[in-house]
A and B are shown apart, each in its own frame.
Chain A
Amino acid sequence: MTKVFGGGTDVVRALDGVSLGIQENEFFTLLGPSGCGKTTLLRLIAGFEQPSGGEILLDGASLTHLPPFRRPVNTVFQSYALFPHMTVIDNIAFGLEMRGLSKTETADHVAEMLDLVKLSDLGKRKPGQLSGGQQQRVALARALANHPRVLLLDEPLSALDLKLRKEMQIELKRIHRDTGITFIFVTHDQGEALTMSDRIAVMNAGHVLQVGSPTEIYEHPTSHFVADFIGETNFLEGEVVARDGASAKVRLSSGVERQASAPKDAAAAGRVSLAIRPERVTLSQSRQTGALNGRVETMVYFGTDTNYHLRLEDGRAFMVRLQNHEGAQAPFATGDEVAVEIADHALQVLRD
C-alpha cells in the first residue's frame, strides 16, 4: 500500500510500500511517532482516502474501491466525532438505523451496547453533557453496535488523563475479549502498545519496520529505530564471527564473544550494531579484563528498580537497571568502578 499526498514539488509519501496481514479476532496495534502514517493507514482501511497504490482485502475480497458506507468496518475517531445534536441513544442507534434494522432490534442493540460500556443511565444526554471519558465510551459503543468485522481505533485514549487511560485500557481489552471483534488500534505510546496488543506493527516515516508480538518487539527489535523507540536500550558495536539462522556469535570491542539473536536479513559477517536492554545485564565490583568496564556516574532510584548510568572505558554511556531487594543496601555507589556482565542471548543484532 502506498499513499502520496500533494503534487508537484510538494509531495508527502505518507505510506511507502506498507504490507500487513492481520488475523481475525486479533488486537493489532500500529505504533509509531507522530506523522509516521498511522492515521493515513487507518483512513485508507475505513475508506476516507483512496490509496495511490496497493489493495485492501477482507477475507480475500477487495475493499479498495468501496465507499466508506459499504465497508463492514467502523471507526472510533480520535476526536470521538459524536453527533452533537443527537442523544447518546440516537448516536449509538445511528449505524443500526442506516443499516435498516427494525426499531425493536435497534433498541435491543443500543441497550446492550450501553450496558457493555456501562453508560445505561446516560442514554438521554447529549454528548456536550458528558465527560471526556464518557464521550469516549459512547464513541466506542456507537462503532461496536454494528458488530463490524474490523474496529479501527485512532489514538482513542490520548485525550484522557493518566488514571482514566489506564482504566480504559483494561476496559478495551475486556470489550475486545467479550465481542471477539478484530481491533486495529493506533497509538504513539509504546507502553500502551506493549500492554494491550496481540501483535504490534512499528512504523516510521511511512514504512512498517517490524511486526511481532509485544515480547518479540521488546526482546528482539530488528532495527535501530525499533530498539530505540520501544523501552530503553543500550547500543554497542560488535563483529559477527559466526552465523547460524536466528542466532549469531558476535565479538564485542572488549574481545568477549557471546551468542546473540539476529534477524534473518541482518549481515552474516562483519561489523554490526547491537542492542541490549538495561535489565538484561548484571554488574560486578571492580574492573575485569575482557569485560565492559566503566564507572557509575549517576544512580536513579525508582522504588522497584535502580538505574545505574555508567560511563564505559571507550567513553560511551551505558545504563544498567537492577532490581531493588527489601532492606538491602544499594550494591554500588556513584564513582564505583564496575564491570558489565552480559549473558549469552541478551544481545540483539540489528539490521542497521
Chain B
Amino acid sequence: MADTAHRTPRALDLKYQPGFTSVAMLCFFVLYAPIAVLVFFSFNANRSVTRWTEFSLDWYVRALANEGIQNAAVTSLEVAVFATVFATSIATAAALATTRVARYRGMTAAYTVINMPLMVPEIVTAVATLSFFALLRTTLGINFGLGNVMIAHTVFCIPFAYLPIRARLENMDLTLEQAAADLYATPWRTFRRVTLPLLVPGVIAGAMLAFIISLDDVIITMMVAGPGQTTLPIYILGQIRRGVTPEVNAVSTILLAVSILFVTLFFLLGRRRT
C-alpha cells in the first residue's frame, strides 16, 4: 500500500479523485448500517427493534437459555463442521487433480463441472436435492436423517472450497515438486513434505469459506431438513414469522460474532503460515 502510494503520482491515484472519499463512505454505510442497527437493538431493554429505551443484556440471557436456539446452534455446528471437513478434503483432491498433473483430455471440462454449481440458482439445487433424497427414500428406503443435510451441505460447499485451493496451487512453482522428486522423495512424500505444507493457506481459506457458507445456508437446508433438524438460520426465519424481537437480533449478533471470530482466526493462521 505504502509502496504504491509512493510510486503512483497523485494525479493518477484513485484516492485523490474528487468525491472518492464520499463514495467510499456511502458504500461502507450501505454495507454496514443495517448490521449496526441490528446489533444496536439487540441490546435494547424494550421489546421494540425500532425504538431505543435503555441498555440491557436481557435478550442475550433469554436467547442463550432458549432450548430451541441451543439445539439449533448445535445442529448448525454439526452440519457445518461435517460439511467443512469433507468438502475441503474433496476440493483439495479436485484441485490437485486439475493442476498438479500433465494436461489431459477433459481437464477443462472437469474444471467447469466442479465450478458449475456456483452458477446454478440455489433454488434449483435445493429442489434437485430434495427430489434426490425423496427418490432415495421411496425407492431404496434410505434416509440418513440429519446426514441428508450434512451431505447436501458438503456438496454445495465443494466449489467454494475449491476456488482458493486451486488459486494457491496455480501460484505454486511446479519445480518445487520436481526438486523433491529429484531428491529421492516418492510422490506421496513429495505431497506430504512439499505440496501440502505450501498448500495450507489455500486449504484454510477454502475451509473458512465452506464453513461460513454452510453456517449461513437457508434454502437448501429448508428443503432437505426433516422435523427436529432445525439449523440456526432456519430457527431465526421461523421466529421472524412471528415478528422481529430483540431476541432474534441477539441470536443474529451471536452468529455474526462467530463468523467474524472464524474469519479472523483463519486469517491470522493463514498469515502465520506464509
B182 within 8 A of A: yes
- Cβ contact within 8 Å between A48 and B173: no
- Cβ contact within 8 Å between B173 and A81: yes
A64 within 8 A of B: no
- Cβ contact within 8 Å between A69 and B185: yes
* Interfacial chain A residues near B186, Cβ < 8 Å: 69, 98
Residue of A whose beta carbon sits closest to that of B181: A68
A56-83: CB near B (< 8 Å → 1, else 0) gives: 0000000000011110011101010111
* Interfacial chain A residues near B135, Cβ < 8 Å: none
Task: Report, as a range, how many residues of chain B touch the other chain.
Answer: 10 to 19
Query: How far is A84 from B197 in the complex, measured between Cα atoms in Å?
Result: 10
Interface residues of B in 173-208 (CB under 8 A from A): 173, 175-176, 178-186, 189, 193-194, 197-198
A4 to chain B, nearest CB (A): 15
Partner of B178, one of A48, A82, A142: A48
Partner of B181, one of A67, A83, A84, A99: A67
A229 within 8 A of B: no
* Interfacial chain B residues near A79, Cβ < 8 Å: 173, 175
B179 to chain A, nearest CB (A): 4
Residue of B whose beta carbon sits closest to that of A79: B175
- Cβ contact within 8 Å between B185 and A83: no
Query: How far is A98 from B185 in the complex, measured between Cα atoms in Å?
Result: 6
Residue of B whose beta carbon sits closest to that of A72: B184
- Cβ contact within 8 Å between A46 and B173: no
Residue of A whose beta carbon sits closest to that of B177: A81
Query: How far is A13 from B189 in the complex, measured between Cα atoms in Å?
Result: 33
* Interfacial chain B residues near A75, Cβ < 8 Å: 178-179, 182
* Interfacial chain B residues near A48, Cβ < 8 Å: 178, 181-182
- Cβ contact within 8 Å between B181 and A142: no
- Cβ contact within 8 Å between B175 and A69: no
Partner of A77, one of B179, B185, B189: B179
Partner of B183, one of A67, A84, A85, A146: A146
A95 within 8 A of B: yes
- Cβ contact within 8 Å between A74 and B198: no
Interface of B is mostly: helix
* Interfacial chain B residues near A81, Cβ < 8 Å: 173, 175-176, 178-179
- Cβ contact within 8 Å between B178 and A83: no
B11 to chain A, nearest CB (A): 36
A225 within 8 A of B: no
Query: How far is A68 from B177 in the complex, measured between Cα atoms in Å?
Result: 11
Partner of A74, one of B175, B176, B182: B182
B172 to chain A, nearest CB (A): 10
Query: How far is A68 from B184 in the complex, measured between Cα atoms in Å?
Result: 7
- Cβ contact within 8 Å between B189 and A68: no
Q: With A69-B185, A74-B182, A75-B179 as given contacts, are A83 and B173 in contact (CB-CB < 8 Å)? A: no
Interface centre among A47, A48, A82, A142, by most chain B C-beta atoms within 10 angstroms, is A48
Partner of A98, one of B173, B176, B184: B184
* Interfacial chain B residues near A68, Cβ < 8 Å: 178, 181-182
Query: How far is A81 from B194 in the complex, measured between Cα atoms in Å?
Result: 11
- Cβ contact within 8 Å between A98 and B189: yes
* Interfacial chain B residues near A82, Cβ < 8 Å: 179
Query: How far is A47 from B178 in the complex, measured between Cα atoms in Å?
Result: 9
Query: How far is A74 from B182 in the complex, measured between Cα atoms in Å?
Result: 6
Q: With A81-B173, A146-B184 as given contacts, are A94 and B178 in contact (CB-CB < 8 Å)? A: no
A127 to chain B, nearest CB (A): 11
Q: With A75-B179, A77-B179 as given contacts, are A69 and B198 in contact (CB-CB < 8 Å)? A: no
B174 to chain A, nearest CB (A): 9
Q: With A69-B184, A94-B180 as given contacts, are A84 and B198 in contact (CB-CB < 8 Å)? A: yes
* Interfacial chain A residues near B179, Cβ < 8 Å: 75, 77, 81-83
- Cβ contact within 8 Å between A85 and B198: yes
- Cβ contact within 8 Å between B182 and A46: yes
Query: How far is A84 from B180 in the complex, measured between Cα atoms in Å?
Result: 12
Partner of B193, one of A74, A94, A146: A94
Interface residues of A in 102-124 (CB under 8 A from B): none
B157 to chain A, nearest CB (A): 27
Query: How far is A81 from B198 in the complex, measured between Cα atoms in Å?
Result: 13
A93 to chain B, nearest CB (A): 10
A175 to chain B, nearest CB (A): 18
20 contacts between A and B (CB under 8 A): A46-B178, A48-B181, A67-B181, A68-B178, A68-B181, A69-B181, A69-B182, A69-B183, A75-B178, A77-B175, A77-B179, A81-B173, A81-B179, A82-B179, A85-B198, A94-B183, A95-B183, A98-B183, A99-B184, A142-B183
Interface, chain A (partner B; CB < 8 A): 46-48, 67-70, 73-75, 77, 79, 81-85, 94-95, 98-99, 142-143, 146
Report, nearest first, the 6 A-B pairs whose CB atoms are least far apart.
A95-B183, A81-B179, A98-B184, A68-B181, A81-B175, A98-B185
